[in-house]
Structure 1
Amino acid sequence: MTGQGLIGQRIKTVRRQRGLSQAQLAHPELSDSYVSLIESGKRTPTPAVLELLAHKLDCSLTYLVNGVTAEQMQEIELNLGYARIAMENGEVTEARTRYAEVLADEGVAGLPHLRQEAEYGLALATEACGDLDGAITLLNTLRRDDAGTMSPERHVAIVVALSRCYREQGDLGQAVEVVEQILGGAVRPAWTNDLVKLGTQLLAAYIDRGDMLRSRQFAAELLAAAELIGNPLTISWTNWTAAIVAAETGHNDEATAYAERALAVQSEQEDPRLLALLRSDYLQVMLLARPAQADAWRDGLERLQGELQESSASTINKLRCTMNLVRAELLLSRPEQANEHIRTAYAILDGMPQALQAEARMLLCETLAEVGMQEKALQEFHRAEQALTHLPSTRSTAHLWLTAAQVLERIDEPARGADAYRRALACVDL
């Protein structure tokens, strides 16, 4: 039955419950024939008529439009609010449960806007819990089933999250494809804040795929679009992604300038959560671009680690911060401290994406080699190797195999080291 048919049916049901005839309901503002047409679904009442009928029937307008009483509506909105708060506070498991409870409420089916928000929130909470497969399924279902009713802004937000999940999972082909369906046409749509944010996800996928020439070209296009739009958050996003491209291609001065601009712009905004995440990213780039100043970056990462524990940052972001702290300690030749930090990372490793697990295991392998625990380092390498073998051939995977080769050489395993070098080259088609 169509939406207007359902409205007419509700009007008819409530009218009969009130003991009114069509003529009594219509008088004096409407004709009984017009009420009859509405109830049969042959006429769509205007908002003003709907409001009038709700008043005459002594029921809520929400019920006539959506089949949900005012009390049900209030309860759904309240529960949705609790889910948002849990997500903002970093209680991602709680948020996942609360979003699922909202969707289990029968009343939400008649409230497409709130249902879409709950489904999108559930997908983000699922991603934050490390369940990328589950998040991808939810996002694809939402994108497919609600394509005709959701706003363009919501659609772009879903594709941003979907591309990010595919990239974290290592499926770079899909990470690129879902974005290029929007941005990759013969005529690119006019840039907006949302589309630039989508573009940064595409750029991240290009970087992971090792397409550095396209990355530098696209980064320049995004920077120009952001400056033209003038939105501070958009400028911060694009400078940050440009910093990653510059660092990955060895342009360290550029990387530093872009990263500092991104951080400076974001510092002027009243969003401590985003600022904390950007500081984490900034310190990661600085470790790569300015390794000689690792002591300063280490101090910053230690402070940030404490802040993230009290924030709404996802488990993945907290894990990345800890891993960067390990790298800083290794650069400072402090393997014992690095070993303490990597053990903390291991405590939250279960359920994380396969690529992130492989990265953390290789970091532990490197740390164990540095403290002279060669046998344990080799054991950890075997665990990391199992994860690496199942990863797609990407630039990141090549870096991990290269690290493995260097560690194996250090613990006097030249044959295995040579094999790791060959695997690293194979990842970049060499």
Structure 2
Amino acid sequence: MSVVGLHHQGVLVTGQDLVGQRIKTIRRQRGLSQAQLAHPELSDSYVSLIESGKRTPTAAVLELLAAKLECSLTYLINGVTAEQMQDLELGLRYAALALDNGEVAEARRRYAELLGDGSLAGLASLRQQAEYGYALASEACGELDEAITVLSRLSESSGETLPPDQAVAVAVALSRCYRERGDLGPAVRVGEEMLLGLRRPAWNDDLVELGATLLGAYIVRGDLLRARQFAAELLAAAEMLGTPRATVAACWNAAVVAEQTGRGEEALALTERALAVQSENGEPRNLARLRLSYAILLLRVRPEQAEACRDLFLRVERELAESSASTVDTARCAVELAKAEIVLGDPAKAVAYASRGRDLLDERARTLRLDAHLVIGNALLRLSRSEEAAAELAKVEELLAHVPSSRRAAEGWLTAAKALEQLDDGEATEAAYHRALASAGL
């Protein structure tokens, strides 16, 4: 719904001071006194109160004043003409389309231009849309600090309360950004404040998605007992709602918990359920991403099915190319395909795939680049190319040194230690094992 439509539902909701100032300015430009503008329908004292911001005019009064002042209602309410409003809304649609198509840098540029346009200053709803889109685009570009700053401002803004669904969407993105930056405390706090507070809302699709994001933070933090308990609660909520979106979100993330807690077959069953629902109701990019998650899980749980996993990865690669997937999704598929080739005994292909994935990533995708270097290093070891393998593992150590202590960091150091052990680098191996223990809090 447009901003103008919202203002027609009885009473003007915000910006009465600005509306009054615009009425006063236009009245003076027309050479009218307050009494002349008011007569005969209104009193001049009532017009005076409106202009001073002490009275909030109804939609009917605003329409009357706009007609008398010979200006558009859109301008009177928002300070922009109908044509300017159309341009702003069109600009938002183009920016959102660029973001949906994976053109994240272009989307960020478009949103930044909209936010730099002074016309948005008095349009709270459109400005919030632009800020939220800019934050998502910044996140996709790897600019997590910028995304967190904007999302925090949206979350904490006073006087411009977000609608409930938008408030949840902001919380989802903010928790996710904190988690990706390694700030697990804030990632958990954002989700728990909305989901587990004293005024806990009833479950709906938006809140299940927020719960799934919170569940991811528990997993990365290594709080697997809490994750397992909360996963069961999410699954129960999704079952109660019975909606495709809630089912996919709950099953997808509960599967990660199951796999992390040694219940691989249960994880596969949950992912298969999510995949079945997504196949019927989901859009192509998310379907490809979920199929990628299933293939990754299948390779971990049933490595004897590596050939089937390779076929799945190749299918996902094609689906991602045909959708609006980001380069990160494509790079992850290439790195996971390399892991399948290692299991199948073809380390040369593994080096090629992982190198292709690594080359798609810039410095901001640190975690995935780390994984790519690990895969390349292990594949080179199998090819007896020790010197090249050592160079890859040195890059792994360099990247891991900047990863905050967490379960993910511990797994990375442990994998690096096992690879360094094959290079007979005793000192580096021992140091890596110590870092793995420290990252796990041991």
Using the size of structure 2 for normalisation, the TM-score is 0.92
Paired position in structure 2 for 1:98: 110
Paired position in structure 2 for 1:375: 387
Once the 2 structures are TM-superposed, how far is the Cα of residue 31 of structure 1 from its aligned partner? Answer: 2.6
One-letter amino acid of the structure 1 residue matched with residue 433 of structure 2: Y
Answer yes or no: is the 8 Å Cα contact 2:373–2:395 preserved in 1.
yes
Give the aligned length.
429
Alpha-carbon distance in structure 2 between the residues aligned to 1:146 and 1:125: 24
Task: Determine which of 276, 279, 289 is the counterpart of 2:301.
Answer: 289
Paired position in structure 2 for 1:31: 43
Once the 2 structures are TM-superposed, how far is the Cα of residue 62 of structure 1 from its aligned partner? Answer: 1.7
Answer yes or no: is the 8 Å Cα contact 1:128–1:315 preserved in 2.
no
User: Which piece of structure 1 moves more, 211-220 or 297-306?
Assistant: 297-306
Alpha-carbon distance in structure 2 between the residues aligned to 1:233 and 1:110: 34
Distance change >3 Å, CA 270–CA 354, structure 1 → 2: closer
Paired position in structure 1 for 2:100: 88
Gaps of 5+ in 2: 1-13
Answer yes or no: is the 8 Å Cα contact 2:278–2:287 preserved in 1.
yes
Distance change >3 Å, CA 29–CA 266, structure 1 → 2: same
Alpha-carbon distance in structure 2 between the residues aligned to 1:81 and 1:427: 44
Alpha-carbon distance in structure 2 between the residues aligned to 1:192 and 1:351: 37
Once the 2 structures are TM-superposed, how far is the Cα of residue 262 of structure 1 from its aligned partner? Answer: 0.4
Alpha-carbon distance in structure 2 between the residues aligned to 1:109 and 1:290: 56
Paired position in structure 2 for 1:348: 360
One-letter amino acid of the structure 2 residue matched with residue 412 of structure 1: D
Paired position in structure 2 for 1:201: 213
Alpha-carbon distance in structure 2 between the residues aligned to 1:305 and 1:147: 46
Answer yes or no: is the 8 Å Cα contact 1:84–1:95 preserved in 2.
yes
Once the 2 structures are TM-superposed, how far is the Cα of residue 148 of structure 1 from its aligned partner? Answer: 4.3
Once the 2 structures are TM-superposed, how far is the Cα of residue 406 of structure 1 from its aligned partner? Answer: 1.6
Paired position in structure 1 for 2:339: 327
Alpha-carbon distance in structure 2 between the residues aligned to 1:311 and 1:92: 14
Distance change >3 Å, CA 126–CA 239, structure 1 → 2: same
Does 2:153 match 1:151? Answer: no
User: Which piece of structure 1 moves more, 141-150 or 170-179?
Assistant: 141-150
Paired position in structure 1 for 2:283: 271
Paired position in structure 2 for 1:220: 232
Does 2:321 match 1:309? Answer: yes
Task: Determine which of 268, 272, 289 is the counterpart of 1:256.
Answer: 268
Paired position in structure 2 for 1:41: 53
Paired position in structure 2 for 1:74: 86
Alpha-carbon distance in structure 2 between the residues aligned to 1:270 and 1:168: 25
**Matched residue SS, 2:41:** coil
Paired position in structure 2 for 1:138: 150
**Matched residue SS, 1:157:** helix
Task: Determine which of 206, 223, 231 is the counterpart of 2:243.
Answer: 231
Paired position in structure 2 for 1:119: 131
Answer yes or no: is the 8 Å Cα contact 2:258–2:264 preserved in 1.
yes
Paired position in structure 2 for 1:400: 412
User: Which piece of structure 1 moves more, 364-373 or 307-316?
Assistant: 307-316
Distance change >3 Å, CA 295–CA 231, structure 1 → 2: same
Once the 2 structures are TM-superposed, how far is the Cα of residue 338 of structure 1 from its aligned partner? Answer: 1.1
User: Which piece of structure 1 moves more, 235-244 or 58-67?
Assistant: 58-67
Answer yes or no: is the 8 Å Cα contact 1:159–1:179 preserved in 2.
yes
* Percentage identity across paired residues of the two chains: 57
One-letter amino acid of the structure 1 residue matched with residue 38 of structure 2: A
Task: Determine which of 22, 36, 44 is the counterpart of 2:34.
Answer: 22
One-letter amino acid of the structure 2 residue matched with residue 421 of structure 1: Y
Alpha-carbon distance in structure 1 between the residues aligned to 2:239 and 2:269: 16
Alpha-carbon distance in structure 1 between the residues aligned to 2:17 and 2:174: 35
Paired position in structure 2 for 1:171: 183
Once the 2 structures are TM-superposed, how far is the Cα of residue 426 of structure 1 from its aligned partner? Answer: 2.2
Q: For 1:81-123, what per-residue CA distance to the aligned partner results, in whole angstroms no more than 9, with x for missing partners?
A: 1101111111111101001111111101111111111111011
Task: Determine which of 402, 409, 421 is the counterpart of 1:409.
Answer: 421
One-letter amino acid of the structure 1 residue matched with residue 61 of structure 2: V
Answer yes or no: is the 8 Å Cα contact 1:316–1:352 preserved in 2.
no
Distance change >3 Å, CA 360–CA 7, structure 1 → 2: same
**Matched residue SS, 1:29:** coil
One-letter amino acid of the structure 2 residue matched with residue 355 of structure 1: T
Answer yes or no: is the 8 Å Cα contact 1:129–1:315 preserved in 2.
no
Paired position in structure 1 for 2:255: 243
**Matched residue SS, 1:162:** helix
Distance change >3 Å, CA 372–CA 147, structure 1 → 2: farther
| Structure 1 residues 173-188: aligned runs within 5 Å | 173-185=185-197, 188=200
One-letter amino acid of the structure 2 residue matched with residue 173 of structure 1: G
Answer yes or no: is the 8 Å Cα contact 2:285–2:319 preserved in 1.
no
